Amino acid sequence: MLAYSARRLLLIVPTLLCILLVNFFIVQAAPGGPVEQAIARLQGIGGQASLAGGHVESVGGESRSVRGLDPALVADIERQYGFDKPLGARLWLMLSSYARLDFGDSFFRGAKVIDLILQKLPVTLSLGIWATLISYLVSIPLGIRKAVRHGSRFDVWSSTAIIIGHAMPAFLFALLLIVVFGGGSLLDWFPVRGLVSENFASLSWAGKLVDYFWHLVLPVLALVIGGFATLTILTKNSFLDEISRQYVVTARAKGFSEKQVLYKHVLRNAMLLIVVGLPQALTTMLFGGSLLIEVIFSLDGLGRLSYEAAVARDYPVVFGTLFIFTLVGLVIKLLGDLCYRLLDPRLDFAGRSQ
């Protein structure tokens, strides 16, 4: 397993390199880059106009977006954003900087990219980790109970509720929570903006803890609604598959109680499939489903940062967040495989190359 872990860690480097290369060339081909954004601001056009138009319309060989500007000023803007260098030189400069974990400075935010990421990361981690934890704490016991009472009235009505929850998009459920519990039309129980209150610094440590979790209730519930359904059904089906096996019949014949059969024998084998899905669930909660939730609840996290950077063509922030997303995803996937090995010592990674 040690050799397998070392191989997987080494494979992270070429994987990151390939993802950065593909996205670099895609981003470079997109219209309305940072130079066009800066020129549009100087001319009072606005960032969105440059995104829509870019350099697409020319008059006499000259782009409309730069007409009337001093060519020296345009050249100075290109030099400021590094676009005075050829494409290959820009790519090499980016890769060499990333090898030193130097993500550069944001084009439009006036701060280092790494500082922005570290500033926004706690919000995204709070949402993702708590949503994943609650999803597993609810889904696994519920899935086990549904498997034990398969076909019962409880199984039917809980499956109906799960299907309805799974069909509802997270952002729509978030709006429903705001309307019902966030002072929208009915109850005003929970805050709907930010991760902490404005007077957070003046609160006691117990007050800070309560305030933090009080702000997390609605956004975390909105995130849980999607992954909760899939995980519950997966748990139920895994247990149903294991309960029908011969070793369970043998354990019951030996006089083991139903709880001993379920939690001593069935649980360990049924959990294998659930553990395999943990990396994907955690990655999705951290970086996939949090964007709209962060926007709806005014949470300043990585998802919102990366979206705003993509719209503004803030390339250092775009590639910095992409690097972090990819690296964290690969590491989580590796940890999931190692946990799978701990649960099932019979699994042999020696023959696997990746």
Condensed to tens digits (0 to 9), the pLDDT of residues 319-347 reads 888 888 888 878 877 877 777 667 666 66
User: How buried is 34 (Cβ within 10 angstroms: 0-12 exposed, 13-18 middle, 19+ buried)?
Assistant: buried
- Indicate the pLDDT class of residue 257, thresholds 50, 70 and 90: confident
Is a pLDDT exceeding 70 seen at residue 180? Answer: yes
241 φ, ψ (degrees, to nearest 5): -65, -40
3-state secondary structure of 122: helix
| Torsion sign across C-alpha atoms 188, 193, 198, 202 | positive
The predicted structure's pLDDT at residue 80: 66
pLDDT exceeding 90 applies to what percent of the chain? 0
Give the mean pLDDT of 198-221.
Answer: 86
| Assessment of whether the complete model's pTM goes beyond 0.75 | no
Identity of the amino acid at 259: K
Quickly tell me which residue has 């670099």 as its tokens.
24
pLDDT in tens, 27-80: 777 666 777 767 776 666 544 443 333 343 333 334 434 555 667 766 766 776
Looking at per-residue confidence, does 23 or 57 come out higher?
23
341, burial (CB in 10 Å: exposed 0-12, middle 13-18, buried 19+): middle
Is the pLDDT at 250 greater than 50? The verdict is yes
Q: Where are the domains of the chain?
A: 31-99, 113-343
Indicate the DSSP class of residue 66.
Answer: G
Compute the distance between CA of residue 302 and CA of residue 114 in angstroms, rounded to an integer: 12
Q: For 113-343, which CATH superfamily applies? A: MetI-like (1.10.3720.10)
Q: What pLDDT is attached to residue 46?
A: 47
Helix (H, G, I), strand (E, B) or coil at 105: strand
Residues of 124-134 as b/e, b for ≥16 C-beta within 10 angstroms?
A: bebbbebbbeb
Q: Mean of the per-residue pLDDT values for the chain? A: 76
Orientation of helix 113-148 relative to helix 302-312, angle to 10°? 130
Write the DSSP string, 302-316: HHHHHHHHHHHT-HH
Q: Looking at residue 276, what is its pLDDT? A: 67
The stretch 5-22 carries a mean pLDDT of 83
pLDDT band for 149, please (50, 70, 90 cuts): confident
Residue 68 to residues 65, 77, 266, Cα–Cα distance (Å)? 9, 15, 75
